[in-house]
Structure formats: structure tokens, C-alpha cells
Structure 1
Amino acid sequence: MSQASYLYTRIREALPWSGGDPAVKGDPRKSVKWIDGLRGIASFLVVLTHLARAWDYDLFAPRDSEDVSPRLLQLPVFRIPWQGRLGVTIFAFLTGYVCALKPVKLSRNGNMLGAFTAVGKSAFRRPPRLIFPATIALIISWVMAQCGAFIAANRSDCWWCRYAAPDLEDSFGKEVLRLFQNFLTTWTTGYMAYDDHQWALLPLLLTSMLVYILTCATMFMRFRWRLFVYLMMLLYFHQNAAKNTETFQMQGIYGMFLSDLSYEVSFQEFITKWKWPRRVVALLLTAVGLFIAGYPGEHPEWSVWSNAMLKASHYIFPPDVNVGKRYSAIGVDLIIFAIYISPSVKEFLSNRLLLWLGTQSFAVYLVHGTLLRTVLCWMLYGITGQPFDPEKKQEGKDEPVWIPIRPPWVVAISIPLWIALVYFCATMWTKYVDPFCARLTQKIENRMFIEDEKPAPAEALPLTSMPMQNMPMQNMPMQAA
């Protein structure tokens, strides 16, 4: 081996995502396959979305104003990474897919007891595995707020940072009470003042419970009738106009449907047989999905293409819904189905880097918001939040003169460094915090669950406890009337 090849091999092995070869059967990083890679992309999209929301909100519209030409990043497809909505939509789909995967497989193999056991244990573990890490993130954000870490964000010219950064109460006692109130509201209404990105955790938790219930309700059904139930549930939740959460249930059921379909042999044989038609269909679905998913969240009437979609939405969706979220869900579903029928794309999503990003996805979701309104704002506005005079107002406005952002070269250096910091912190979180939460959940499960008992021998069982199929009725003597 040459020195250059040796050096390349050592560098590759040192990278955090090079813990195994995903092409080798049984490699642990291959266990979630394309799902984990898709999760990694979704978490990165969430980070990009919040950067755009904070410092270039015009990207959420098809152009800066009605009478100017659109920028490149405001055009269809190009606008997708910046305008939001897709990351959380993908998380909702993954919730349904992953939660249904094991029990559906067991039930299809005829192991109904194992399927119900999987649902029962997964449904028990799901809340603490979400609540424990989110609570730790809440406490960290709360402590940082008490130390004045959000002052720079609250005084910056970034309107979204000011909106999302908490203002402190006038006493420490009130702040302690507010900490407990925010813990409750996170899991009852979805509101959390110290890190508003946690709003999605409650609907994701509720979606997982919906999937578990639907799995149990349809476990004994034939596949074609389960498809009918999935369709009816999708149509039912299509009418849901609940604020912010209206697409979560549909995405969860869609994930459950694809999870079930992955075990259908006839469908897999059909996909394998019709290779070129499948590729054409996947390409068309991807193109249409990318276009639909790019529907602007703000001022869709400013462009011809988005205005046409706005008018069509009156006939497609029920009234008083978030049209942007609805179109994003449809676009994501088309793209995911294109991935689903494309083995080569699944293989790409299973590469080391994307699998590693997927492993860090939940940690990235929990830590990036606090780091954005603290560390990144320190980089872009200074740590002290000075000079700032709340009495000095902007000309013609009843607002203070906010601290201006630093020069573009500072921004260009700060944002990549901050993204690297986010993933470093996420790696530490995944390495230390997640295992702690898993151990704590396991201890609670061991304490609360009944122990598995060995079945009693057949001769010790009463007659009424023996299965009826072991008692041939035709050989039993008839009783007198």
C-alpha cells in the first residue's frame, strides 16, 4: 500500500461516520438503511430552514416583492431547502414507517403474540424516549437563559431571533415556576418558550400512538382490507384543519402503509420485474413532488406558478387549512414513493455520511435552536449585546434601534463553523445523553413490567385453558338432552 493510500485509509477511519462498511451484510450502520439516511437529510433541512427564517425570510416568498424578478433560490425546486416544512413532514412519515415496521413483520409471519408484545413495549418506551431528552434540552436552555445567554438575540436586528428568544421574568422564583409550566405545555399544547422548536414533539408522539392503535386494530385483517383502512383514515384526516398539526396523522398513516407494503412479495416482484417503467415513474414522481413541495409559504399570489397552485388548493383541500403544509405533504409523499421504488436511491441514502447524519438527527433537532439563538447570535452580533439603548427609537417606528448584523464575511465564516458546532454537540448528545435516557427508560420498564413466566406443563393446565383445536369435537360423546 502506498503512503497516500495508507493516509487516505487512516483519515477515512477517523471520521465519525466511518464505523463500518454499509455494503457488508449485518453491518450495524446498515440496519435502518435508507430510512436513517432520509432522517439525516430531514434534520439538516430543518437547520437550513431556520437559518433562512432568521436572516433571509424573503426566501419563503416566490420573490422579494410583487414587482421584482425572483432570485435563483426563490425559484421552484431551488427554494425547497430554505423555505421550511419539509423536514418535520418527513419526520412524521418516518414515525409511522418505523413504528409499524416490526409489529407488521411479526403479524405477517403469524406471530400475533410477538406483534402485540412489540406494540405494547414500543408504546411504553416511546414517551420517555422523547420526553427525557427533550426535558434535558429544556433545562439546559433554561439555565442558559438565567445566565443571560439570549440577550444578544433579544437585541439583534433578527426579528425571528427576538421572537423565539425568551425574555426573563422579574424574579428567579417566577422563572422556576415558568420552567415547570413550560414542561407541561410542551406535552399538552406544544408551546415551549425556551426552545419553540419542540412544538413538533407532541404531535409526533400522538402520531406514534395513532400508528400503534391502528396496527393493533388491523393486525388480523387481510392486506387488501388494511389498504382500505389506510385509505379511509387518510381521507378522514384530510379533513383535519387543526393548526400546525394537520398533516402529521396523514404522514404517519402513509408511513405505516409503505411499511406494510414493503413485506408484500407480489409488489416487490412487480418492482423488480418492471425495471425501466419503474425508473420512469420514479423520475416523474420526483419531478412533480419537488415542484409541489416548493409551494411558497408566503405570498404565493406574487408568481404565476404559485398563484395557480393557490387557486387549485380551493378545490383540493378543505377550507381554513395551511395550504403550504398540505402541498408540502403531497410533494414529500411523491418523492418518498419514488425513493421507495428505487433501489439505487435507497443505496445512496444508505451511505456512511447520511447514516451518520441520521443517527444525529434527533440530537440536532433538540440542540440547534438553542445554539442558534446563543452561539450563532454571539458570532453575528457580539456576546454582550452592546451597544443597546432601549429608549432610542427607530425613525418613524416605535421600536428600539436593534444591533446590526456584522459584515458579510463574518457571516460567511460564522455559519459553517456554527453548523460544525451543532453536529459536534449532537454527536456528544448521541454518545452520552441518549444512552442515559435509554438506560433510564429500561430501568422503568424493568420495574413496571411483569416478568416473563415459563408456561406450566400441559398436564397441569385445567381443561378450560387448553386450546379448543386440540379437542376433536367429532370424537366426543354426545351428552343426553
Structure 2
Amino acid sequence: MATIRDLSAKLPPTLLRSTSWADGLRGIAAIFVVASHTSLCFATFLIPPSVVETGKSTLFQRPFFRLVIQGQAWVAMFFVLLGFVNSLKPLQLARSGAVSEALGSLSTGAFRRTGRLLARRVDVFWLRSTAPKPSVSLVAAVEDLVRELAGTWLYGENAYDQPQWALLPLFRGSLYVFMTLLALINATPRFRLCAETLLYSWSWATLDGGVGTNIFAGMMLAELSLNNCQFSASLKPRALFQTVPYGLVVLGFYLCSFPDQYAEQTAWSSQLAHIGDAIFPKGSNISRYFASIGAQIVCLGAMLSPTLRRIFSSRVLLWLGSISFPLYLIHGPLMRSVLVYLLYWPMSLGFMPALLADGTPNPESYIPTPNTFRLRVILSLFFAFLLFIVRLWSIHIEPKMGAATNYLERVSRSWGNIRDFLGKGHGLLPISIFKQASA
């Protein structure tokens, strides 16, 4: 029997669209998420679109430049790309007539994807607000850790690492892709596209603008990228239409620039706020909806332009894309431990908190941030260290996680027939994992 890889190799060239641009765009998104958290630490004045005292905007408070602090826009990009990449291969196989292989690819893909004490005393908003309180004892610390790990997957909160809130929505988004394609894999492309449009509209109306609309938009992009009309080719004859993708990317990033707070302070953000009040559902988070629509438009523009796809497929961006997930997971804990100690530990040695009128220490007296020169030097060193650790993680940790996933996949396929499973020489779980990781 032909394997899924063999069938993919036989697909018509027009159906084999490279997804490398999506990997590159994901790498950009990961870097900007880290940049946004860094800005929330040391440049909180960038949160509003202008300086309150003067009413004027600095460079990085203006549209496009303020993307450095718009973390939710880049998280929205992750969801769009998740819907796009996870659905593309099953759709390719289904369009070639290999429906059973498409279902196999779908099920496999769904299975596989599915220093804090000091940090609370420093004059850094994001680190202070996302660092948990110390546990009262070692036993309590273990209980707190287990509770927060469970909380990541039960209600999307983790006091030990706030960015992990996205893991539960990412899991939910993967299920959206799986269930939708499972129901529609035998349908025609046109019917699937109509169904995905209805699901997008349903997500929009039910205030699921952060996950549902992005996932279904990504699925629609995957469907359109395989369309026989070949959008990119049809735009080539007319120079006017060649500029459309670039205009979409500019528009998308402009919408992504919409501030999460204080939109009324500037004309451009106030104008977008009025538009959002008119078109978004009542009770929706306007900034999250703008971030989602902007991310969707950026991905659409990139998909339509061969030049943009080549730009986003550069070697540096592809490398960043390959480490994007561990970068997202690891940067928070390292910022609250390594970065905090590098910046504040020497200053904490002689730090004396201010006293209240009754002589007790002021709980809001924080260790001050170092001068600008030292801050820049240490941040540069820290980011180099962060990329190094993330690279080590991708080399040494991820293969073991992949081996564990493969083991669980084999168990799921041989459950109830364990004798045959063990007879194939797979061995016990720890041995299997480390054998595959070293292979």
C-alpha cells in the first residue's frame, strides 16, 4: 500500500504549495511576542498611542512601529497559521482523491499537535505582575506547581508562566481543524469553503474572535491556496493587481497596530475604535478583533504574492520559525529568572525599601531599574543566551517529546493487542524514547 508521503509526492505540482512562508511568518510572530513582553517590562509608556501629558506620539507609539508591543496581534497570527498549515496536507490529499489517506494524515496530525521571589520586587510591570507569590513550604510548592500545570489545560491560566494561557486555545483550535475536516473531507472544495465561511461567521457572532475566526480563516486560506484559479498567476498580467497583496499586508499591519488601551487619545486609533463599535458584535473585545482581522489579512496578502512568500521564506526567518514554539514557551521563565538576576541582583544587595508613616516597609517600594546603558548591554546578552537555550531545547528536548508522541501513537493503534505491539521490539516507554531520540 502506498504511504501518505508517496501519495503526496505524486500530487500535481499546482497542488504542492510551499508552506515555508508560513514558517517564516511564524518566526517573526515569535520574536515579536518576546519583544512585546520586553516592552511591557521596560517601555510601558508605549502601551497608549500617545504621551498623555503632551498628546504627541513617539515613534514606537505610531501605527506599524507599535507592533513591537502588540503581542496579541502576533498570537492571532499563530492561530491563523495553525489553521492554514494543519489543514493543508489533508486538503491536498482529499483533492487528489486519496480520501482515506487524507483521514489518516488528519488523525496523525491531530494526535501529534495536540527566579520568582526577586521578580516580584523589581520595578518592572510585566515581570512583577506575572510572577507568582512564593509558596509557604516545599510541599505547598509542589501542590501549587501541579495545580498550575493542570490549570493551563483546564481554564487557560498558569501563575508560573502567564504566556501559557495560549496553549488551551491552541489545543481547541487544533480540534476545530480536526472536527471540521473530519466532517467535510468528502465534500467538494466549494462546499467546504462555504461551510468554513459559515463557521467563521458563527465564531464572529459568538465573540470567538481570538480563536475561532482565526482558525477558520486559516482553513479558508488553505482551501483557496489549492484553488484551480491560481490567484497569484491570475494577478500577474496586470501591474495594478500585482500591488494588491502588498496593500493587504500594509492594511493588515495597520489594523494590528490598534492599541489595547487608550484608543481615544489619537485620531487614527479613535477612528478605528468607531469603526469597530459599528462592525463588531456587541460586547466584543475590539482590540482582539482588530488584531485577528489584521493577522488574517496579512496572511492573505502573503499567500497571494510570490515575492512576499520568498521574503518570508528566507533562511533566517525559517530558522526562527523552527524554534518559534520553544521560544514562546521558554522566554517567560528565563526572563523572570536569568534576566531578573542579571539586572537586579547586584542592586538588591544594598536595597532598602522606603518606610511608611508607621515605620513598616512600603510594599510598593521596588528595586529600581538599572541605567539605560547597562539595560541595553544585559538585554543583548540575555537575548543571545535565550536563542542559545532555545536552540538546545529544539535539539535535545523536542526529539524526546516526538519519540514519546510516536510511542503513544503506536499504543493507540495497538490497544488491546499489546502482545503484538511488544513483539515488534518497541520495548518499554523510556527505552523507546531514548533510542529514537538518539537515532
| TM > 0.5 fold call | yes
TM-score band by shorter chain is 0.7 to 0.9
| Counterpart pick for 2:75 among 73, 85, 88 | 88
| 2:71 equivalent to 1:108 | no
| 2:194 equivalent to 1:228 | yes
2:109 corresponding residue in structure 1: 122
CA shift for structure 1 position 31 = 6.6
| 2:58 equivalent to 1:71 | yes
- C-alpha deviations, 1:234-274, integer Å up to 9, x for none? 111012336xxx42111111111111122112234743544
Distance in 1 between residues matched to 2:356 and 2:384, nearest whole Å:
37
Distance in 2 between residues matched to 1:256 and 1:109, nearest whole Å:
18
Report the TM-score when normalising by structure 1: 0.79
Secondary structure of the equivalent of 1:123?
helix
| 2:39 equivalent to 1:52 | yes
**Alignment RMSD:** 2.2
The residue type equivalent to 1:56 in the other structure is: A
Contact kept, 8 Å, 2:251 with 2:297, in 1: the verdict is: yes
Contact kept, 8 Å, 1:59 with 1:83, in 2: the verdict is: no
CA shift for structure 1 position 64 = 2.2
Secondary structure of the equivalent of 2:229?
helix
Secondary structure of the equivalent of 2:254?
helix
CA shift for structure 1 position 89 = 0.7
The residue type equivalent to 1:331 in the other structure is: G
- In the superposition, relative to structure 1, how do residues 317 and 66 fare at CA in structure 2: closer, same or farther (>3 Å)? farther
| 2:210 equivalent to 1:247 | yes
| Counterpart pick for 2:337 among 374, 391, 395 | 374
Give runs of aligned pairs for residues 165-314 of structure 1, distance below 5 A.
165-241=131-207, 246-268=209-231, 270-271=233-234, 273-274=236-237, 276-314=239-277
Contact kept, 8 Å, 1:393 with 1:401, in 2: the verdict is: no
Distance in 1 between residues matched to 2:329 and 2:40, nearest whole Å:
18
1:425 corresponding residue in structure 2: 389
Higher-Rg member (1/2):
1
- C-alpha deviations, 1:20-75, integer Å up to 9, x for none? xxxxxxxxxx9741111111101001010001111111212111216431111111
Kindly, what percent of the aligned residue pairs are identical? Answer: 30
Report the TM-score when normalising by structure 2: 0.86
- C-alpha deviations, 1:158-204, integer Å up to 9, x for none? 12211111211111111111111111110010111111110001101
The residue type equivalent to 2:43 in the other structure is: D
Distance in 2 between residues matched to 1:392 and 1:89, nearest whole Å:
44
The residue type equivalent to 2:117 in the other structure is: I
1:324 corresponding residue in structure 2: 287
Moved more, 379-388 or 220-229: 379-388
Distance in 2 between residues matched to 1:234 and 1:448, nearest whole Å:
32
| Runs of 5+ unmatched residues, structure 1 | 1-29, 128-148, 452-481
The residue type equivalent to 2:189 in the other structure is: F
Secondary structure of the equivalent of 2:163?
helix
Contact kept, 8 Å, 2:93 with 2:102, in 1: the verdict is: yes
- In the superposition, relative to structure 1, how do residues 338 and 32 fare at CA in structure 2: closer, same or farther (>3 Å)? closer
CA shift for structure 1 position 379 = 2.2
Secondary structure of the equivalent of 2:83?
helix
Distance in 2 between residues matched to 1:284 and 1:102, nearest whole Å:
28
Distance in 1 between residues matched to 2:157 and 2:77, nearest whole Å:
21
Distance in 1 between residues matched to 2:355 and 2:369, nearest whole Å:
18
Count of residue pairs brought into register by the alignment:
398
Moved more, 285-294 or 190-199: 285-294
Distance in 2 between residues matched to 1:409 and 1:269, nearest whole Å:
48
1:386 corresponding residue in structure 2: 349
Contact kept, 8 Å, 2:46 with 2:69, in 1: the verdict is: yes
- Structure 1 runs (4+) deviating above 4 angstroms are 388-391
1:133 corresponding residue in structure 2: none
The residue type equivalent to 1:97 in the other structure is: F
Distance in 1 between residues matched to 2:46 and 2:414, nearest whole Å:
54
1:435 corresponding residue in structure 2: 399
Distance in 1 between residues matched to 2:304 and 2:238, nearest whole Å:
10
| Counterpart pick for 1:448 among 400, 412, 417 | 412
CA shift for structure 1 position 388 = 4.4
Contact kept, 8 Å, 2:353 with 2:362, in 1: the verdict is: no
1:132 corresponding residue in structure 2: none
Secondary structure of the equivalent of 2:156?
coil
Contact kept, 8 Å, 1:387 with 1:403, in 2: the verdict is: no
Distance in 1 between residues matched to 2:65 and 2:354, nearest whole Å:
42
CA shift for structure 1 position 83 = 2.8
Distance in 2 between residues matched to 1:251 and 1:262, nearest whole Å:
16
The residue type equivalent to 2:62 in the other structure is: L
Distance in 2 between residues matched to 1:250 and 1:360, nearest whole Å:
26
2:301 corresponding residue in structure 1: 338
